Amino acid sequence: MSFSAENRRIADRIVAQYPQSESAVLPLLHLAQSQDGWLSPDGMREVAEILGLEPAQVFSVASFYTMYLREPAGKKIISVCNNISCMLQGSDELLERIEHRLGSKCGHSTSGGEVYLEEVECLAACGGAPCLQVDGEYFENVTIEAADSIVDSAMRGERPEGGKGLPSDFYSEPLGAPSIPEGLGANEGEGS
């Protein structure tokens, strides 16, 4: 994997926003994953090279977070939360329904590679349980009927309606990376 010319320009702009380049590891991993649909060893090495880090440092970050896929997955990724709030509100039934609807089990892609289904420990949306994500975009208080609609959209390769948060193509828009608040930039406040 090598970043496309456009993604390399985006990566350089992301890195420039951080006082210490290694702080850009998470957004660069997102960018690499959005380009190829997963984080290949080559992709992690490229991120390491851009940031001046050892590949093992980047791998340790990528392996810690469930949002980074280290194996090829479907074109769309559905993540179902299984933490206590979601479980008590029916996430097990949602997962079972989605598996049935997709015709594939959790941890696998559909036969045509359209959708990859995963169960994740926590999506940090306990107030909206049960919740799931499609390509990182949140869907809360998901009913069986809403899950059917979300799955149908994902199978068609469409962005499901009703989500909130950042879609997976966030970094392909004009920068999209966070800006450093005033007073927290590189070398600001030194010598005071």
* Per-residue model confidence as pLDDT tens digits over 116-169: 999 998 888 999 999 999 988 899 999 999 999 999 999 998 888 888 865 545
Per domain, the residue ranges of the chain are 5-70, 76-170
For CA atoms 96, 100, 105, 109, give the dihedral sign.
negative
What are the structure tokens assigned to 111, written together?
A: 């036969």
Q: For domain 76-170, which architecture applies?
A: 3-Layer(aba) Sandwich (3.40)
Q: How would residue 184 be classed by pLDDT, with cut points 50, 70 and 90? A: very low
| 147 close to 79: Cβ distance less than 8 angstroms | no
Nearest to 115 by CA among 147, 149, 155: 155
Nearest to 80 by CA among 100, 55, 98, 103: 98
Write the DSSP assignment of 87-135 as a string of letters: HHTTHHHHHHHHHHHHTS-TTSB-TTSSEEEEEES--S-GGG-S-EEET
CATH class, range 5-70: mainly alpha
Which range among 28-37, 53-62, 157-166 shows the weakest confidence by mean pLDDT?
Answer: 157-166
* Per-residue model confidence as pLDDT tens digits over 156-174: 988 888 888 655 454 444 4
